[in-house]
A and B are shown apart, each in its own frame.
Chain A
Amino acid sequence: MRLSKGGLIDRSETFEIRFDGRRIPAHPGDTVASALLAAGERLVARSFKHHRPRGIFSAGAEEPNALVGVGRGSRHEPNVRATVQEARPGLRLASQNRWPLLSVDAGAAADLAKPLLGAGFYYKTFMWPKAFWEKVYEPLIRNAAGLGRLSGRADPDPAEKRTRDCDLLVIGAGPAGLMAAREGARAGLRVVLAEEDFLLGGRLLAERETVGGVPGAEWAEGVRAELESLGVRVMARTAVFGVYDHGLYGALERGPGGRATLWRVHARRAVLAAGAIERPVAFEGNDRPGVMLAGAARAYLNRWAVAPGRKAVVFGAGDDAWRTAEAMAAAGLEAVIADARPVSALGPAPEGVKLFAGTVVSGTRGRLGLREVRLRSDRGERWVQADLLAASGGWSPSVHLSCHHRGRPVWDAGVGGFVPGADLPPGMSVAGAATGAWSTHAALRDGADAGRAAAEALGASVGAAEALPEAEDAPRRFAPLFLVHGAGKGAYVDLQNDVTVADVRQAEEEGFGAVEHLKRYTTLGMATDQGKTGNVLGLAALAQATGVSMGDAGTTIYRPPWTPVPISAFGGDHRGEAYRPALEAPSHAWAAARRASFVDSGAWKRAEWYVRGRERGWRDSVDREAALVREAVGICDVSTLGKIDVQGPDAAAFLDFVYANMMSSLAVGRCRYGLMLREDGFVFDDGTVARLGETHFLVTTTTANAGAVMRWMEFVRQGLRPDWDVTLISATDQWAQVAVAGPRSRTLLERVVAEDVSDAALPFMGWRDVTVGGVAGRVFRISFSGELAYELAVPARYGGALMERLMAAGADLGVAPYGTEALGVLRIEKGHAAGAELDGRTTAGDLGLGRMLSKKKDFLGRALAHREGLTDCERPALVGLRVVGEGALSAGAHLFAPGAGRTAAEDQGWVSSVAWSPAIGGMIGLGFLARGAERMGETVTASDPVRGRETDCEVVSPHFVDPDGERLRG
């Protein structure tokens, strides 16, 4: 019911939200929870395990019950706390974990089966028959228990990720946080103030007290204005959820429309002013809709002008229960107080409120909502009618973020709760109710002190302290109240996980009485609320069961996130096409205009083939391109190969150390094939090295390994040989490099470059400077295809122009572009190893390159390359495979002797690369076969159980084409 006046809502505007299809009126300033309560909706959810009817239990982030689905279709978000979700026009909400209806839920049968669903039931109840677990029991349990469901569709409003840097991060904008931010800002710090709520003020918003002579909410707004004038970044709707290394804090901001932004906040100091969370009391039936925290009831009355009930029992052992009863009475509602303390400890009852001293609540009634409350005292028991039971067992400081670096809270009997220990995250201090400072005055003082201390720690100039605003400073009168005698199977300590006092006792009886064991065995403190209301109560039940004090029982600690963070917020816009960058070669646009099909090669988009005329399938294009290179001339953009510029007096020595073969003997003007090993002796990468000058080299890497090789070389330079004077820098993006390959390639080259590129002027494995249409470039005479070939390099901005120039100059030579597929066919025909062969499992010896390992110098990987396992003559070695007959060959197939069993013991190797070879006129492959070099002419069977292929192959030399290398030297 909405009260006729009061509250921090804008009554001038009314709009509708929908809950399970019902229209619910709301005002700006409402949460979903306040609007539902105002509309008389008490039943809003079903519990996780027992499907018990549940209502709104709190008024903030700690809510364990009122989880709803928000939005529809692809914008649906499950498990949203109704108590923090702002109401906005048109918002559609749906209850969760029920079928078919919230009020008539078939899953409620689980409540009847509660005796079977005690602590750890899934560890011991569903043991037989064994085969039933995966197919019957587990699906059944998963179906019956749970929270909301994801839509399964992509959210059309992807989250953002942003970064903010500050001197001081203040977490929480209650009285302590506001003062900390103000003092920090006044000292000149760059301050970020993050508050999960959409209003600043914290607990002040829920009370009717004044600060500095004005209502608390008004004072908070005044401070906000001052903070903004001082340049403080005030971030409302922003929950700091995690404390990470080096002053990095994770924060989730929800825009007014719900859109998420994940903030990475770098802070030199932080003040945790997260307040405190009220604790429930464990008594039988403490989970019915209508049972609520006393402070929450007060918040609904004062902040949202909502009566959470008409007839209330307020239960507790301290001031909070009394203040709630007073607020109810002030709103014209009926309230009685059940106070566990003896009458001698109590003053007179508030006006209009009946007081039952020395009385506890021992039970409740009401199927879908509270109807009656049972009061018990020395005088006996009685049932009283009530639709609201507001209970307060005391308050627990919000210590969660103080634990994120493994800090462990300690029990403070004076506070009546766990408070942060001394092992806080570096740079963090804690202020206000989060330390157990309960009065508003204490919170203001604590916050101001923390802000000033942070400023002093950062060397800022801190002026004289100003007088604090006048505020409530009454000593708190309360006795922590945890369990009512007799609480058992119907007394919940953790509402979200349906953990009862009986479960805790059972866990202890079964040997899981340590706090960490208790958590895992019962699930106490897990799920979306992470035990905000339930954890300490559960520990109290454990302490009682084990007969130890709270301090001796101890507590588990908290880890990120403090509040649920959708995985999509971590993902941000990293999805679909934006998931990762697509790198484009310099001739990309040129290739796209010529019907190139592109393939991902590492992060690059490379042309895999070009469709010409009426070619109907990729094989048509690839066969044509491969044959073209063998017979005429083709051009292929190979700019994606990594290029690393190596310079310095020790450049040659450095490369000798990095490569297995000698590089220092390379003459200026020449290139050399190089093999790089990992430290464990396996092959890491290969490529060519060109010596551009005495102290200047250009290293080429494979496309996929370019980044890894650069990192590795930097590690060697900085970490292993810092004594050498050598510099490295990537030049990959600087150059457009085009392979010109085929018997007519020299003719074509002579037409586009001004310099002499004859065999005498530019022999095989040579390079030289050239000019192409007035543009300075380089040409390298190297070949991956096995044909006479060159790689022509010009600055990248001329990549498309170079392709066009080569095409125009070679029209009569039959020139055409070829892609990576044809490149693959050509290199397999030639027996050149590529990524499939350099897969991290092969050695130089396996590849037939063992002689490249220099005996004249040290190099990385040398020691381990000679270990026994890597020099075993039984190791599979590179061979060529030629299909016998018409069968198909698969990369990844394993090799067996004909007729041998398909077992690991009989496995003799594998197929690494396959291609249809136009030059051979059949299917060929490269593979690794045990003692391969000795087995030329043998027949082996390639077995591919995935595709159901068994293919007989002849073992041949891997050099199918031009084994003597006459063509490439031509």
Chain B
Amino acid sequence: MAEMIAEGPFGEAVDETLGGLRLAEVAWRPVASVQPFRGRQGEVEAVTGALPGPGGASVAALALALDQWLVEGVAAELAARLAGLAAVTDQSDGWAWLRLEGAGAEAAVSRLANFDPEAPDCAGPFARRTVLARCPAVVARREAGGALELGCPRSYGRWFLGAVRRAARAEAGG
């Protein structure tokens, strides 16, 4: 019987240097969306730890919308711990993530985005639901001074990689 071998979302392994920029795939890890039911956020945070405010990010969670977070963790385990408190949905395979770092990373993203990643509110941790190169996307920074993470729905993966790569190359002067 054929083995169940996982495939990455980009159709290729991504880890490359473009001028002063490094573009790499974020390795698969379990994540789930967590949407607390009405009035239960406090109880949810007692389980997950503090969740970032709107537009915010932490090492373990990105705020994607009002009352909606993308949280690191196995969905089934989170669902069990948050039963009756929040809707938990496995998103581990739903998103494809790239990491872009180095001088000019923000400028490269500004070539694709409808917001300015160089603005002060993007200097620290942040998460922004947006559109990058016509893909629904998330741009996030989990720690001040850290790399940018660029996420898109998995089905956009190859197209998204092409767009980000072109922008990074343009910024790097290639």
Residues of B within 8 A of A (CB): 1-9, 11, 28, 33, 35, 37-38, 67-68, 87, 89-95, 110-111, 113-116, 118-120, 133-135, 153-160, 162-163, 166, 170
Is residue A808 contacting chain B, with contact meaning CB distance below 8 A? yes
Is residue A623 contacting chain B, with contact meaning CB distance below 8 A? no
Interface of A is mostly: mixed
B141 CB to nearest A CB, Å: 15
Is residue A109 contacting chain B, with contact meaning CB distance below 8 A? no
Residues of A contacting B113 in the complex (Cβ-Cβ under 8 angstroms): 163
Please judge, given known A-B contacts A163-B113, A163-B115, A165-B118, whether A801 and B154 are in contact too, CB under 8 Å: no
Residues of B contacting A796 in the complex (Cβ-Cβ under 8 angstroms): 9, 93-94, 154
Whether the pair A578, B94 counts as a contact (CB closer than 8 A) is: no
Whole-angstrom CA separation of A733 from B8 in the bound complex: 13
Whole-angstrom CA separation of A802 from B92 in the bound complex: 17
Whether the pair B94, A733 counts as a contact (CB closer than 8 A) is: yes
Please list 16 pairs of residues, one from A and one from B, whose beta carbons are closer than 8 Å in the complex, sorted by A's number: A162-B111, A163-B113, A165-B115, A582-B159, A583-B156, A583-B159, A584-B155, A584-B157, A584-B158, A645-B89, A773-B4, A795-B92, A797-B7, A799-B7, A808-B1, A808-B2
Number of interface residues of A (CB under 8 A): 56
Which residue of B7, B91, B163 is within 8 Å of A800 (Cβ)? B7
Whether the pair A645, B87 counts as a contact (CB closer than 8 A) is: yes
Please judge, given known A-B contacts A160-B111, A266-B116, A583-B155, whether A773 and B35 are in contact too, CB under 8 Å: no
Whole-angstrom CA separation of A732 from B155 in the bound complex: 9
Residues of A contacting B28 in the complex (Cβ-Cβ under 8 angstroms): 797
Within 8 A of B (CB), among A46-79: none
Is residue A574 contacting chain B, with contact meaning CB distance below 8 A? yes
Which residue of B94, B110, B162 is within 8 Å of A163 (Cβ)? B110
Closest to B65 in A: A729
B120 CB to nearest A CB, Å: 7
Which residue of A162, A574, A774, A775 is within 8 Å of B110 (Cβ)? A162
Whether the pair B9, A797 counts as a contact (CB closer than 8 A) is: yes
Residues of A within 8 A of B (CB): 160-165, 190, 264, 266, 573-574, 578, 580-586, 589, 604, 640, 645, 647-649, 696, 725, 727, 729-735, 751-752, 772-775, 794-802, 804-805, 807-809
Please judge, given known A-B contacts A163-B110, A734-B92, whether A801 and B155 are in contact too, CB under 8 Å: no
Whole-angstrom CA separation of A640 from B154 in the bound complex: 12
Whether the pair B3, A734 counts as a contact (CB closer than 8 A) is: no
Which residue of A190, A578, A725, A798 is within 8 Å of B6 (Cβ)? A798
- Other 19 A-B pairs with CB < 8 A, given A586-B155, A648-B87, A725-B37: A161-B111, A163-B114, A190-B119, A264-B114, A266-B116, A574-B134, A582-B158, A583-B159, A585-B155, A589-B7, A647-B35, A727-B68, A727-B87, A729-B68, A731-B91, A734-B92, A752-B1, A797-B7, A798-B5
Residues of B contacting A805 in the complex (Cβ-Cβ under 8 angstroms): 1-2, 4
Closest to A605 in B: B155
Whole-angstrom CA separation of A277 from B158 in the bound complex: 50
Whole-angstrom CA separation of A801 from B1 in the bound complex: 11
Closest to B67 in A: A727
Closest to B95 in A: A733
A857 CB to nearest B CB, Å: 23
Residues of B contacting A162 in the complex (Cβ-Cβ under 8 angstroms): 110-111
Whole-angstrom CA separation of A804 from B91 in the bound complex: 24
Whether the pair B91, A734 counts as a contact (CB closer than 8 A) is: yes
A25 CB to nearest B CB, Å: 31
Whether the pair A804, B157 counts as a contact (CB closer than 8 A) is: no
Whole-angstrom CA separation of A213 from B19 in the bound complex: 44
B156 CB to nearest A CB, Å: 5
Whether the pair A733, B35 counts as a contact (CB closer than 8 A) is: no
Most B C-beta atoms less than 10 A away, residue of A264, A584, A733, A809: A733
Q: Which 5 A-B pairs have the closest CB atoms?
A: A165-B116, A647-B87, A773-B4, A734-B94, A796-B93
Whole-angstrom CA separation of A264 from B68 in the bound complex: 29
